[in-house]
């Protein structure tokens, strides 16, 4: 199946580099995270598609809602463009996008993160992703079979 | 959900905050600097009917 989503517009302020900027269009989509063992436990969040991220990353606070114990997951230290590191823990999840469910994994952070991120493991392992900047459109095609869950 | 046009919501007052949106209407229900506070506030809510979003800072580009 193929799904299309619009980019999401965020407010932005003009800067020296971009004096006429008043908004930024970003590839953000509504994402539902399910506890793999208890799929009725969910949280919905808008997350940024980021092919440069090795793994999807969500705030650790979501673990309470999902009924997961944050540090029961396997530890992974991550860093972004800055050298600062964040402690995260890997958990099995079910990712739901556009009503389709996929078993995968994601990291949950102990520290604060700027934005929930959909990365290589946890998103790109489920979808072939096409980002059309000119159309401001995200196209997703599943690259493996979705699963069926009973919670919906 | 796929292909649906997003509803216009004014996020201008929510820079660098977490917000809770109604999934059905797209309306902002609540906002706070602390995600933990919002999760506490909505701990008994139907999590299918609300969604969380982090509004990025407006004065910087996003580059993780």
What are the extents of the domains in chain A?
2-7+24-142
Chain A nearest C-alpha distance from B12 (Å): 6
Measured between beta carbons, which residues in chain A are less than 8 angstroms from residue B48?
A: 42, 44
SS3 B51: strand
**DSSP string for A19-42:** TT--EEEE-EEEEEEEESSSTT-E
Whether the ipTM is more than 0.90: the answer is yes
Residue whose token pair is 């159309």: A135
pLDDT tens for chain A, 152 residues long, are: 899 999 999 999 999 999 999 999 999 999 999 999 999 999 999 999 999 999 999 999 999 999 999 999 999 999 988 889 999 999 999 999 999 999 999 999 998 888 999 999 999 999 999 999 999 999 999 998 899 887 54
How much is the pLDDT for B6? 53
| Cβ distance of B59 and A52 shorter than 8 Å | no
Domain A2-7+24-142: give its CATH superfamily: Acid Proteases (2.40.70.10)
How much is the pLDDT for A96? 97
Dihedral sign, Cα of residue B11, residue A26, residue A133, residue A81: positive
| Cβ distance of A46 and B54 shorter than 8 Å | yes
């Amino acid at each position: 199946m193929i799904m299309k989503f619009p980019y999401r517009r965020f407010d932005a302020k003009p800067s020296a580099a971009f004096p006429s900027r008043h908004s930024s269009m970003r590839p953000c989509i509504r994402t539902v995270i399910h506890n793999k063992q208890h799929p009725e436990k969910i949280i919905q969040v808008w997350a940024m598609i980021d092919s440069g991220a090795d793994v999807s990353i969500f705030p650790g606070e979501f673990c309470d809602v999902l009924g997961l114990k944050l540090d029961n997951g396997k530890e992974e230290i991550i860093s972004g463009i800055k050298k600062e590191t964040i402690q995260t823990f890997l958990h099995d999840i079910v990712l739901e996008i556009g009503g389709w469910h996929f078993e995968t994994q994601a990291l949950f952070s102990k520290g604060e993160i700027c934005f929930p991120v959909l990365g290589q493991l946890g998103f790109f392992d489920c979808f072939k992703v096409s980002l059309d900047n000119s159309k401001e459109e995200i196209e997703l095609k599943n690259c493996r079979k979705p699963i069926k869950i009973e919670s919906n | 959900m796929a292909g649906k046009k997003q509803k216009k919501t004014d996020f201008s007052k929510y820079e660098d905050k977490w917000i809770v949106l109604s999934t059905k209407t797209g309306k902002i229900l609540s906002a706070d600097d602390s995600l933990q506070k919002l999760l506490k506030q909505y701990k008994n809510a139907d999590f299918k009917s609300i969604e969380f979003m982090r509004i990025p800072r407006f004065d910087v580009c996003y580059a993780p």
